[in-house]
A and B are shown apart, each in its own frame.
Chain A
Amino acid sequence: MTADYSATEMMICVTARIMQDDSTAFIGTGIPMLAASLAQRLYAPNLIPIFEFGGTGAQLEQLPRAVGEARTFHRAVAASGICDIMETAQRGFIDYGFLGGAQIDMYGNLNSTVIGSYYPPQVRLPGSGGGNDVGSLCWRTISVMRHDKRRFVPRCDFVTTPGYLTGCGAREAAGLPRNTGPIQVISTLGKMGFDVGNTYRMTLEAVFPNITIQDIIENTGFELLILGDVETLDPPTAEELRILREEIDPDRLYI
């Protein structure tokens, strides 16, 4: 049994558990880096992390603090540049993209550009970075973010990164690559999916331990679809927590 753990630690563990062995995964700054490092140690030893400025297939022994730093190509198979990485995604070679954002809506669109109107904005955020490219070009995207009503909004103030845009057929109509889009959202309360092939709206798949469906509904600014049984996920194991705290983020930058 594990004693205490934080919602952030649970979110990292759930993200790590869904990472597939022998797959290519575009890793954004922050939580996805911790999850990829944990996944390589426990669940997906042959996960190929890909970082936008050129690192391919690093062994994530130490937590990168930036998407271009040495740790993103530590004992990697290749160290190239951003055009090579983005073109690799555009050719269909990157299976998963792991992203964060300030806002997400029911179609999985992400905002990391502005809160309020565009100019002058109420809050100016960093901008797309590689987010738009990851959400456009990877086969499947997974968003990882805190769960509250300010973040899970009916409509993003600004669509920085495409989810399913306005729903069924919208990505294809916009000219985005076929058969792509978000498949999962891991938050600090649960695991969401999407009603792919039908409404393309966000669905509730699972809740974290000690979190109720009602908790999730109250912290979501739009109606989440519940299409089947909602399972309760297992808490972090003692081993997951030990690796996370002692090996991956001993300085507690994130956890």
Chain B
Amino acid sequence: MHVLEEGRGELIQVPDIEAFREWNRTRKSRRLEDKRMTEQEAIRAFVTDGCYIGTELYGTVRCPMSLSREVVRQSPKNLRVAGQGVLELDLWLAAGLVEALDITYIGLEVYGTSHVLRRAVESQQVKRTAEWSNAAISWRLKAAAMGIPFLPIRSMLGTDTFRYSAAKVVEDPFTHQKICLLPALILDVGLIHVHRADRFGNAQIEGISGFAFELARASKRLIISAEEIVETEQIRQYPDRTIIPYYLVDAVVHAPFGSHPGEMVYVYARDEEEIRAWVEASQTVDGASGYLNRFIHSVPDHMAYLNLIGEERLAKLRGEAERR
């Protein structure tokens, strides 16, 4: 196949499909084992300096926020990150944990541009960036989930998004048309927050599934946090709801309100007041570090964080949840 164009972006995580197969054969247990851990144990065990990490979905929607805050508490260095994010990646960038970004979108949605991202990239604190579209990041994970080294797609073509990516354009050997090839993206660690999981890691999600299916299957180590830990019998009653089977999972963390201040559909609504507090605080370096101190470093764990937010507020968010 003839390569016609190459993006000049760096391939921040080089996929090795054979090694991934071997990893899945030798390093992922098929035994039904109790994988429950505290968030401290799970992050300490799997999130290491320099590792390539990804979170699913994003900041304000079913996001592993309690795990993301624990990452900030433990402060691993030089993280390489798949950057589809809102609040969670803002926190990591503000804490100075990120060295390299495969970026598709980091911003504050309704509230505009991320000041933290601006400071981190404009000051070159983040040393390497490569551009992708949202579909491209998800399809790169999908390629890894399929166990193939690359996936042909029809977006990215003709743009600077392609030119600053690590994708390539080739002539399709079947139709002789130009097509963009995305390299598979195999994560060292993935973090996903779900509605329910059993102690082995069988996990179920309500509502849209974002890219949980793909990210779970593209991760060498997978940490699940769950609103609720249920008996396996409940999983077996509704196996069609299982999006992540246990053998993909390395740690199960019980985290009620684990997506706070984001929402968890049918369980609680997003906490607009708290989201706005970050939007305000993150405008300045001092504001951001004050927020990190108050809501992360000054509380030992997620339960203490929830106490800080307060039961009254949490009850209100439960009451505002989307109903079926």
Contact = CB atoms under 8 A, between A and B. Distances in A.
A123 B118 CA distance: 7
Contacts of A54: 207-210
- Sort chain B's interface into a size bin: 35 or more
A228 interface: no
B88 interface: no
B212 A81 contact: yes
Nearest to B180: A175
B110 A253 contact: yes
Contacts of B113: 125-126
B265 to A, nearest CB: 5
A15 to B, nearest CB: 17
Interface string B161-180: 10010000100000001111
Contact of A176 (B110, B136, B157): B157
- Sort chain A's interface into a size bin: 35 or more
B104 interface: yes
B124 A137 contact: no
Contacts, number: 192
Contacts of B132: 128
A121 B123 CA distance: 9
A113 B162 CA distance: 12
Contacts of A71: 322
A127 interface: yes
Interface in A167-186: 170-171, 173-177
B104 A129 contact: yes
Given A81-B211, A113-B161, A161-B161, A137 B117 contact: no
A124 B117 contact: yes
Interface of B: 57-58, 60-62, 83-84, 86, 103-107, 109-110, 113-114, 117-118, 121-124, 129, 131-136, 138-139, 142, 153-161, 164, 169, 177-180, 207-214, 263, 265-266, 269-270, 321-322
15 contacts: A66-B86, A66-B109, A81-B213, A81-B214, A83-B139, A83-B211, A113-B160, A120-B122, A124-B121, A127-B106, A127-B107, A128-B161, A131-B133, A136-B157, A137-B154
Interface of A: 29-30, 52-55, 65-74, 79-83, 86, 90, 109, 113, 118-133, 136-137, 158-162, 165, 170-171, 173-177, 253-254
